[in-house]
Amino acid sequence: MKFIVALLFTALFGYFLPLFLPWWSFVIASFIVAVFIHQKPWKAFLAGFIALLLLWGIYAVVLDNPNQHILSTKVAQILPFNGSYMALIITTAIIGGLLSGMAALTGSYLKEGKV
């Protein structure tokens, strides 16, 4: 139950915080959620990772669909993705998930007193 609550709060705060603060504030949201909803470190990492993986992945697809993937295809041609916009979106989601997961892991370790 804590896992699902942490996942939902991380996704919720990870969406709303960057609307008012810098784009990287989703990391702060993951950290704060992990401090206040204490879990084992691996569960905290997993909750942060899954929450932002899904959030950034879905958000990237929602923003990319209206323009028929024009910009993401051009960016994917510059990067080593051979023009695959889906590879770019998946990479974006994984990077967001890893950043959020590491922040949640740090918050969990802080709560345990290991930091």
Tens-digit pLDDT profile for residues 72-106: 999 999 999 988 999 999 999 999 999 999 999 99
Measured in whole angstroms, the distance separating CA 104 from the mean position of its chain's CA atoms is: 11
Distance CA 100, CA 104 (A): 6
CB 87 within 8 A of CB 39: no
Q: Domain range spanning residue 80? A: 2-112
Structure tokens at 94: 């994984």
Q: Considering its fold, how many domains does the chain have in total?
A: 1
- CA-to-CA distance for 105 and 70, rounded, in angstroms? 36
Residue 115: predicted pLDDT: 65
Task: Name the pLDDT band for 113 (thresholds 50, 70, 90).
Answer: confident
- Average pLDDT estimate for 2-11: 94
C-beta of residue 72 within 8 angstroms of C-beta of residue 64: yes
Tokens of 99: 């950043």
